[in-house]
């Protein structure tokens, strides 16, 4: 038998999922251990062994999502790191983009570079835009850089020279000399980390990669030791921000690819749902305690971005295009001095958390509002592991919202939710409308503990076709990890007019990248590989390029022609205009190399006959439209495929609660997903 | 008329027409509409100015042309839209119908500069009652006139600044006005760019209008109108309350522009008195110089933007930005002056003057709102404009590159290095993009040592950018900067010293520097370098209050030189050299 283990380390909980050959998915949730995440991971494995009888020695793959890199950046707990740049560009990090962080605050500080100015060293050298050497790099110059780095006593160094993505020789020579002279030094070069134009963004990413190397290497070694102790012998993989995993060794040298991996596993799991043609267009809605992550999946594919930022500093790394809004289950509600009701962006966070957590929070959050309105069962929150204090929630809402506004308690709580939904709907529209899509063609796919509670009301504002609540929404990221594959992105910046290149030239570049990819994937022990060729085109006079996925077959003339035609189509769709007579440039050509890992075989269920579901219980629940009503409560595990039900209703499972609003119909599909659609108003 | 706005502060909590939940949900929906319009415009526009420099703003208005919600992109454009729309409403009265599209770029009919084109779409509900407008203002790189790019300090009249569109209909009930369209096409230098951007402006405005009518359908037009009125009231009340927290008094400040763009040796005075009286605040610009001969006059809508920006800087971040923000504000600006010019005074370079004016206003407010104050920022906006060629295609390409100076020190920390000016927010173009797109090589982007004003909290440093002409042909360029006169540097506050001023240089093949005029044309031969040097921010608080460790850290980082440590901070020369030496070893360029 083969089984796969996925573990997602969150701020509060560590989720453990085992995906077995029988098709069974086993889920556990244990507290996270922020000072040393590996303790929580090992506890989780021990617990799933004990309570669910999982034989961990038979696991074929262990994939995990880690916040070690993210937290190190957030807390600025980075080793002393230096940067080597081209002469004249010592201030590349200090200057940044020169843009203002806050337009209306005269004292707003710019973000502090990870490398202070005194640890930035210049090398006399210059390469031009085509890679030609303008100023050669002398051995004396290298020796001098080495001496400065040595004297500075740093643990890591990034090297980011101008146009190194065209000619990496100068960077490599400096890196070799540094490694030789300073044993144990972590070195990252920009031509390998982010071979893309824009010196500031590339240098910033390179510095992050270098600084994280020693930390991540130590972390990986620690977990690998611990895994042996608990009997896990399966190879370990780590989530990247591009939705694929990498080996632990790869992570130790490409640590920057972990930084934005937190929300990626959930989106990856959503793309598995989107493999079904009828769910190919989804807006994911991952609602946590302090923020909500929203991403768009169109035609089964989650869009990737190459440039994003973390804590105000740019990162050039392929990642799912995820829009984060500062609104979640812990968002605080308040009445401002003009009598307006505001929700967020302030959050109660994990500590003290919502008032109902009883950890000292006295101000109301959206979670408190859900509880007061009967949508959450206080005895069953997180499988009953956490008793919620409903009186504290009522008091918080009464004092801070209901009384100042002169409203009934329930009306005030419903108001808090309505405002929170309006804020979140803004984010969901950003990812869809702003990329040229019509949200009415999409389903909202909620996950995270709070997602399914808000999905229908948010979806109504966004105007989506409906809502799909997947299986295990409360541990969905770990589900994604348990089904993940290894994925490496490689690309070459080409930047030529289409008239001066050919299919043969383009395919030759791909072939070179594939050799490199095969080598890396082979060492990961994958079963099979595919190499999706991806081109980025643009009009000659324009900066924004458009990604076209060409396919996994070698590129011939017809394929390239077809790709250009699709570029014009995509451009028309996304930007509202296109011109087939304009000069087109190939900006870059690359591959997405995917190595599939051994995956348990699972059967697919056929369609089940429709049957009315029977509620397991009922309780009073408040909705603004209907007031307090005794409302049916369904146990998720008792809802078989084909079961149909009507809102208002509550669907409960151990890690999540789905709130089914009035005028909504639900049905369980063959895969176990809850499919919720808005009832069309009957026209008179 | 010299009174441009009259304060009507709201002192008591406003009576609500709708429940606070509906107001808040409607506010979010309206702000989403403005944001969606901004994103749609950026996605579908053609020009680099709109797409990459993001020189545009979008907003939603009520039926009377009052701004309800805006996407906060470029502050200088935002507050100028309502006056331009109100001119359209006044002109067309009842003759406003579904499908109409208005254009207005007339600086003396509410617009701010001919390049900044206002576009408005009226919004109707299902009963075809006018319920509001959506608006998109976008900067067109060229709008005809005497020089490429249209705006220039040397222009002497609005007639030199391209085609004026005085609140015209570009579409009537969905049908394009062919005559107007043809006039535009015939009078601008790259019509396909303008028409592409106009099309994007209209499409963005129409999609916003559709969402706006959907909102009316959902709530009913009367409820929506009530919610909007509540939003104005609540913003007016909160803004008034915040003004009420400032100490009453008269706060004065003045400053000088280097020149009017024509008479290069004659500085131009601008003056403001900010009078705080209870919950009212008056911005009185009396005493400012007579209107200028060149193109840097500040039209009414831009003056309004300066005031709006300054007021917003006084507010906590959760106070909304809409018509209500100006309720407690009076604006007085005598007619015929640089801050309230009479037609046809030229206004194309009003951004340079208005950035300076914003700095003067913040200087006055520093004493009214000490917690939100900073020493003066550098606001000279050095810029290089040239027609080069793309090394890839050989096609001609116009570059507009600006470099940032330093922010002023403030109560909490040193001023930031390299921060774009008040009212603006343009990005530095990466050196690798410049070299790829033009026959230029950026030889350095670096901070200028000692450019920040000394103080307990030091001013930020400005950027030096060197562009080498690597073409075989001479490069014809226009270079401009304000704040180049050493007599009028970015001032310190509470005893802090001034920051450095800007300068422009041409470095010849022998490495010899030649100073350039603060505004004017030049030629760089093959191999020569144009060097832009921005100024630094003023210092905050007396130098004596700067901790020794902070001075030493600046020496190690090279933000100040050993001689500045001696001259400004009273350091012992030996000690200064020793501390700097430790860092200087590291910083020394190695060959």
Q: pLDDT value at position B591?
A: 35
Classify residue B405 by burial, with Cβ atoms within 10 Å: 0-12, 13-18, 19+. buried
Q: Which residue from A451, A283, A419, A241 is spatially nearest to A342, judged by alpha carbons?
A: A419
pLDDT over 60 (residue B392): yes
The more confidently predicted of residues B69 and A23 is: B69
Question: Which residue among B374, B557, B589 places its CB closest to the CB of A87?
Answer: B589
Residue with more model confidence, A52 or B566: B566
User: Which of A560-574, B138-152, B411-425 has the weakest average pLDDT?
Assistant: B138-152
Distance from CA of A506 to the nearest CA of B (A): 19
Q: What is the pLDDT of residue B75?
A: 67
Contact B589 A197 (CB under 8 A): no
Confidence band of A383 (pLDDT split at 50, 70, 90): low
Dihedral pair phi/psi, residue B139, rounded to 5° = -85, 120
Q: How far is residue B119 CA from its own chain's centroid?
A: 19
User: Under an 8 A CB cutoff, do B427 and A99 touch?
Assistant: yes
Q: How confident is the model at residue B50 (pLDDT cuts 50, 70, 90)?
A: confident
H helical segments located in B245-349: 300-314
Nearest-CA residue of chain B relative to A165?
A: B432
This prediction has a pTM of: 0.91
What is the distance, to the nearest Å, from the Cα of residue B162 to the centroid of all Cα atoms in its chain? 21
What average pLDDT score do residues A162-191 get?
A: 97
Spatial separation of the C-alpha atoms in residues A102 and A106, rounded to whole Å: 8
Residue B357 CB partners (closer than 8 Å, separation 6+):
B255, B270, B272, B298, B303, B306, B339
Find, among A282, A335, A271, the residue nearest to A477 by Cα: A271
Model pLDDT, residue A13:
82
Chain A CB within 8 Å of residue B432 CB: yes
Chain B CB contacts of A201 under 8 Å are: 430
CA–CA dist B61, B59 (Å, integer): 7
Chain A nearest-CA distance from B234, in A, is 5
Q: How far is CA A79 from CA A72, A216, B81, B334, B542, in A?
A: 10, 12, 50, 60, 35
**DSSP state at residue B546:** S
B window 299-338, beta carbon within 8 A of A: 309, 312-313, 315, 317-318
User: pLDDT tens digits for B224-258?
Assistant: 999 999 999 999 999 999 999 999 999 999 999 99
Across residues A453-481, what is the average pLDDT? 93
pLDDT at A483 over 60: yes
Angstrom distance (rounded) from CA A242 to CA A338: 45
> Which residues of chain B have a CB within 8 Å of the CB of A422?
24-25, 28-29
**Is the pLDDT at B133 greater than 70, yes or no?**
yes
Is the alpha carbon torsion for A422, A428, A430, A434 positive or negative?
negative
- Chain A residue closest in CA terms to B558: A118
B287 and chain A in contact, CB less than 8 A: no
Minimum mean pLDDT range among A231-240, A345-354, A417-426: A345-354
Predicted local distance difference test score (pLDDT) of residue B189 = 86
Mean per-residue pLDDT, B450-478: 96
Q: Measure the CA dihedral A276/A282/A284/A285, to 10°.
A: -120
Does the beta-carbon distance from A148 to B374 stay under 8 Å? no
DSSP string, B169-183: EEEETTEE-HHHHHH
Question: What are the two backbone dihedrals, phi and then psi, of residue B199, each rounded to the nearest 5 degrees?
Answer: -60, -40
Q: ipTM greater than 0.85, yes or no?
A: yes
Flag the least confident range among A241-250, A573-582, B137-146, B550-559.
A573-582
Report the pLDDT value the prediction gives residue B583, as an integer from 0 to 100: 52
Residues of A in contact with B404 (CB under 8 A): 95, 98
DSSP string, A438-495: -GGG-EEEEESSSHHHHHHHHHHHHT-SEEEE-SSGGGHHHHHHHT--EEEEEEEEEE
For chain B positions 57-116, those within 8 Å of chain A (CB to CB) are 72, 75
| Pairwise CB contact (< 8 Å): A94 & B447 | yes
How many Å apart are CA A70 and CA A250, to the nearest integer? 17
Q: Do B241 and A337 touch (CB under 8 A)?
A: yes
Give the model's confidence band at A606: pLDDT under 50 very low, under 70 low, under 90 confident, else very high: low
B44 touches chain A (CB under 8 A): yes
Q: What is the C-alpha separation between B347 and A312, in angstroms, rounded?
A: 36
Q: In this complex, do B16 and A339 lie within 8 Å of one another by their Cβ atoms? A: yes
Residue of A nearest to B207 (CA): A433
User: Do B44 and A106 lie within an 8 Å CB cutoff?
Assistant: no
Q: Flag whether pLDDT at B148 surpasses 90.
A: no
Residue A35 in this model has a pLDDT that exceeds 90: no
Q: Is B383 on the interface with A (CB under 8 A)?
A: no
What single string gives the DSSP state of each residue in A89-155?
Answer: -TTHHHHTT---S-TT-TTPPPPPPSS-GGGEEEE--EE-TTS-EEE---HHHHHHHHHHHHHHT-S
| Per-residue pLDDT at A598 exceeds 80 | no
User: What's the confidence (pLDDT) of residue B332?
Assistant: 98
What pLDDT score does B589 carry? 39
CB B590, CB A124: distance < 8 Å: yes
Which pair of structure tokens corresponds to residue B152? 């220039």
Mean pLDDT of B519-523: 89
Q: Which residues are A628's β-sheet partners?
A: A622
The minimal CB distance from B585 to the residues A98, A148, A199 is found for A148
Query: Which pLDDT tens digit goes with each residue over A386-401?
Result: 789 999 999 999 999 9
Q: Which two structure tokens, joined as six digits, stand for B517?
A: 């005029």
Residue B53: pLDDT over 90:
no
Alpha-carbon gap: A193 to the closest alpha carbon of chain B (Å): 17
Contact state of A124 with B591 under an 8 Å Cβ cutoff: yes
Say if residue B584's pLDDT is above 70.
no
% of chain A surpassing 90 pLDDT:
63
pLDDT at B2 over 50: yes
Contact between B411 and A107 using a beta-carbon 8 Å cutoff: yes
pLDDT number for residue B109: 96
Instruction: Say whether pLDDT at B495 is over 50.
Output: yes
- Can you tell me the distance from the alpha carbon of A591 to that of A577, in angstroms, rounded to the nearest whole number? 28
Q: What is the 3-state secondary structure (H, E, C) of B88-142?
A: HHHHHCCCCCCCCEEEECCCCCCCCCCCEEEEEEEEECCCCCEEEEEEEEEECCC
Query: What was the pLDDT predicted at B588?
Result: 41
**DSSP one-letter string for B461-473:** PPEEEEEEE-SSS
Q: Which residues of A touch B466 (CB under 8 A)?
A: 88
* Cis upstream peptide for A345 (omega within 30°): yes
Residue of A nearest to B463 (CA): A95
Residue of A nearest to B235 (CA): A338
Q: What's A683's DSSP letter?
A: P
Q: What is the 3-state secondary structure (H, E, C) of B372-406?
A: HCECCCCCCCCEEEEEEECCCCCCEEEEEEECCEC
Which of A118, A121, A419 faces B21 most closely, judged by CB atoms? A419
Q: Which of A81, A84, A87, A104 to mutate to test the interface with B (most CBs of B within 10 A)?
A: A104
Closest CA to B92 of B201, B170, B13: B170
Q: Which of B29, B395, B420 sits opposite A100 (nearest CB)?
A: B420
**A553: closest CA of chain B, how far (Å):** 30
Strand bridging mode B3-5 / A282-287: unpaired
Q: Spell out which residues of chain B touch residue A160, defining contact as CB-CB under 8 Å.
A: none
Chain A residues inside the 8 Å CB shell of B37: none
Stretch among A222-231, A626-635, B336-345 having the lowest mean pLDDT: A222-231
For a pLDDT cut of 70, what percent of chain A falls above it? Answer: 97
Distance from CA of A92 to the nearest CA of B (A): 7
What percent of chain B is modeled with pLDDT above 70?
A: 97
The Cα B508–Cα B521 span in angstroms is: 16
- Residue B342 CA to residue B333 CA, distance in Å, equals 12
**A514–chain B nearest CA distance, Å:** 28
Between chains, do A106 and B417 touch, taking CB under 8 Å as contact? Answer: no
The pLDDT value given to residue A572: 84
Q: Is A105 within 8 Å of B420 when comparing Cβ atoms?
A: no
Give the tens place of pLDDT for each residue, B32-42. Answer: 999 889 888 88
Segment B366-387, tens digit of pLDDT: 999 988 889 999 999 999 988 8
pLDDT of residue A486: 93
Task: Show Cβ contacts of residue B197 under 8 Å, excluding neighbours closer than 6 positions.
Answer: B45, B46, B47, B50, B138, B140
Q: Is B396 exposed, middle or buried (0-12, 13-18, 19+ CB in 10 A)?
A: exposed
| Lowest pLDDT segment from A134-138, B51-55, B273-277 | B51-55
Could B35 and A426 be called an inter-chain contact, meaning their C-beta atoms sit closer than 8 Å?
Answer: yes
Q: If we measure between CA atoms, which residue out of A524, A539, A533 comes closest to residue A560? A: A533
């Amino acid at each position: 038998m083969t089984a796969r283990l996925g573990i997602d380390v969150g701020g509060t909980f560590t989720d453990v999922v085992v995906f077995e050959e029988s098709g069974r998915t086993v889920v556990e949730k244990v507290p996270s251990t922020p000072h040393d995440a590996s303790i929580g991971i090992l506890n989780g494995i021990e617990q799933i062994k004990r309570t669910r009888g999982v034989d961990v020695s038979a696991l074929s793959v262990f994939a995990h999502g880690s916040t070690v890199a993210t937290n190190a950046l957030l807390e600025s707990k980075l080793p002393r790191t230096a940067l080597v740049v081209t002469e004249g560009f010592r201030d590349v990090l200090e200057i940044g983009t020169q843009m203002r962080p806050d337009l209306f605050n005269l004292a707003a500080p710019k973000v502090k570079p990870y490398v202070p100015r005194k640890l930035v060293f210049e090398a006399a050298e210059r390469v031009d835009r085509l890679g030609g050497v303008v100023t050669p790099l002398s051995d004396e110059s290298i020796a001098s850089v080495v001496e400065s780095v040595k004297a500075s006593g740093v643990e890591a160094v990034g090297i980011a020279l101008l146009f190194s993505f065209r000619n990496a020789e100068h960077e490599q020579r400096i890196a070799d000399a540094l490694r030789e002279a300073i044993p144990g030094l972590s070195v990252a070069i920009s031509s390998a980390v982010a071979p893309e134009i824009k010196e500031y963004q590339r240098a910033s990413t390179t510095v992050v990669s270098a600084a994280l190397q020693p930390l991540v290497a130590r972390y990986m070694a620690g977990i690998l030791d611990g895994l042996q102790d608990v009997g896990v012998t399966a190879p370990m993989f780590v989530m990247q921000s591009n939705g694929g995993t990498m080996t632990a060794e790869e992570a130790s040298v490409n640590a920057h690819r972990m930084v934005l991996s937190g929300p990626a596993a959930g989106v990856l799991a959503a793309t598995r749902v989107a493999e079904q043609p009828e769910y190919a267009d989804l807006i994911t809605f991952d609602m946590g305690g302090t923020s909500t992550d929203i991403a768009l999946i169109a035609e089964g594919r989650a869009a990737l971005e190459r440039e994003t930022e973390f804590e105000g500093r740019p990162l050039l790394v392929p990642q799912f295009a995820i829009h984060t809004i500062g609104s979640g289950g812990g968002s605080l509600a308040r009445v401002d001095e003009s009598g307006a009701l505001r929700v967020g962006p302030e959050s109660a966070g994990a500590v003290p958390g919502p008032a109902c957590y009883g950890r000292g929070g006295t101000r109301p959050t959206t979670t408190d509002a859900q509880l007061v309105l009967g949508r959450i069962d206080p005895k069953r929150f997180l499988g009953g592991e956490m008793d919620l204090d409903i009186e504290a929630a009522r008091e918080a809402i009464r004092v801070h919202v209901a009384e100042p506004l002169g409203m009934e308690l329930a009306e005030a709580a419903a108001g808090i939710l309505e405002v929170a939904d309006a804020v979140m709907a803004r984010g969901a529209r950003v990812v869809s409308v702003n990329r040229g899509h019509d949200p009415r063609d999409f389903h909202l796919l909620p996950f995270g503990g709070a997602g399914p509670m808000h999905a229908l009301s948010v979806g109504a504002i966004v105007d989506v076709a409906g809502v799909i609540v997947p299986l295990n929404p409360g541990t969905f990221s770990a589900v994604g990890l348990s089904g993940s594959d290894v994925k490496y992105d490689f690309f070459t910046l080409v930047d030529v007019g289409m008239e001066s290149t050919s299919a043969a030239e383009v395919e030759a570049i791909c072939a070179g990248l594939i050799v490199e990819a095969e080598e890396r994937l082979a060492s990961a022990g994958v079963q099979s590989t595919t190499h999706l060729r991806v081109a980025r085109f643009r009009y000659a006079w324009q900066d924004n390029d458009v990604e076209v996925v060409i396919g996994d077959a070698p590129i011939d003339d017809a394929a390239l022609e077809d790709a250009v035609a699709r570029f014009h189509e995509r451009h028309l769709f996304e930007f509202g205009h296109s011109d087939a007579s304009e000069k087109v440039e190939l900006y870059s050509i690359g591959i997405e190399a995917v190595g599939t890992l051994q995956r348990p075989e699972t059967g697919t269920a056929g369609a089940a006959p429709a049957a009315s579901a029977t509620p397991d219980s009922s309780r009073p629940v408040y909705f603004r439209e209907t007031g307090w009503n005794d409302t049916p409560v369904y146990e998720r595990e008792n809802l078989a495929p084909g079961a149909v039900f009507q809102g208002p209703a509550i669907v409960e499972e151990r890690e999540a609660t789905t709130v089914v609003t009035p005028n909504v119909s639900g049905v369980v599909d063959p895969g176990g997903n809850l499919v919720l659609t808005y009832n069309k108003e009957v026209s008179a | 008329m010299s009174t441009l706005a009259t304060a009507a502060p709201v002192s008591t909590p406003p009576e609500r027409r709708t429940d606070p939940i509906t107001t808040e949900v409607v506010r979010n929906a309206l702000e989403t509409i403005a944001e969606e319009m901004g994103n749609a415009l950026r996605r579908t526009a053609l020009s680099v100015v709109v797409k990459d420099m993001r020189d545009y703003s979008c907003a939603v208005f009520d039926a009377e042309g009052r701004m309800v919600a805006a996407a906060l992109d470029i502050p200088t454009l935002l507050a100028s839209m309502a006056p331009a729309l109100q001119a359209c409403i006044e002109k067309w009265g009842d003759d406003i119908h579904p499908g109409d599209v208005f254009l207005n770029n007339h600086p003396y009919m509410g617009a701010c500069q001919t390049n900044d084109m206002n576009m408005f779409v009226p919004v109707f509900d299902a009963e075809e009652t006018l319920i509001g407008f959506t608006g998109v203002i976008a900067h067109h790189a060229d709008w005809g006139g005497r020089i490429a790019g249209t705006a220039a300090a040397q222009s002497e009249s609005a007639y030199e600044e391209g085609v004026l569109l005085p609140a015209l209909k570009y579409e009537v009930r969905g049908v394009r006005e062919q005559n107007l369209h043809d006039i535009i096409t015939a009078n601008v230098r790259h019509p396909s760019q303008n028409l592409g951007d106009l099309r994007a402006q209209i499409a963005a405005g129409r999609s916003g209008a559709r969402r706006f009518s959907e909102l009316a359908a959902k709530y009913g037009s009367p409820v929506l109108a009530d919610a909007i009125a509540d939003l104005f009231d609540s913003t007016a009340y909160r803004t008034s309350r915040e003004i009420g927290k400032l100490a009453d008094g008269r706060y004065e400040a003045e400053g000088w522009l280097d020149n009017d763009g024509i008479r290069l040796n004659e500085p131009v005075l601008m003056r403001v008195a900010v009078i705080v009286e209870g919950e009212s605040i008056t911005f009185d610009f009396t005493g400012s110089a007579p209107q200028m001969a060149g193109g840097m006059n500040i039209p009414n809508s831009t003056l309004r933007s300066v005031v709006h920006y300054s007021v917003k800087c006084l507010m906590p971040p959760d106070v909304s930005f809409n018509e209500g923000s100006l309720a407690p504000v009076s604006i007085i600006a005598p007619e015929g002056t640089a801050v309230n010019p009479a037609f046809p005074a030229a206004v194309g370079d009003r951004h340079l003057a208005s950035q300076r004016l914003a700095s003067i206003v913040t200087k006055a407010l520093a004493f009214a709102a000490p917690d939100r104050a900073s020493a003066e920022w550098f606001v000279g906006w050095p810029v290089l404009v040239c027609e080069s060629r793309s090394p890839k295609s050989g096609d001609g390409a116009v570059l507009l590159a600006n470099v940032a100076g330093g922010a002023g020190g403030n109560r909490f920390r040193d001023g930031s290095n390299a921060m774009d000016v008040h009212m603006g927010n343009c990005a530095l173009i990466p050196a690798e993009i410049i070299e790829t797109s033009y026959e230029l090589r950026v030889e350095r982007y670096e901070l200028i040592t000692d450019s920040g004003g000394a103080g307990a909290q030091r001013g930020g440093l400005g950027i030096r950018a060197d562009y080498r002409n690597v073409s075989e042909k001479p490069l014809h360029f226009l270079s401009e900067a304000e704040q180049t006169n050493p007599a009028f540097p970015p001032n310190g506050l509470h005893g802090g010293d001034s920051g450095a001023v800007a300068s422009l240089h041409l470095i010849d093949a022998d490495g010899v520097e030649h100073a350039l005029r603060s505004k004017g044309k030049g030629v760089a031969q093959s191999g020569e370098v144009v060097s832009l040097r921005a100024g630094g921010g003023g210092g905050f608080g007396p130098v004596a209050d700067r901790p020794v460790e902070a001075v030493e850290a600046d020496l190690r980082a090279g933000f100040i030189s050993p001689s500045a440590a001696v001259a400004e901070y009273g350091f012992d020369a030996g000690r200064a050299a020793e501390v700097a030496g430790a860092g200087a070893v590291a910083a020394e360029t190695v060959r």
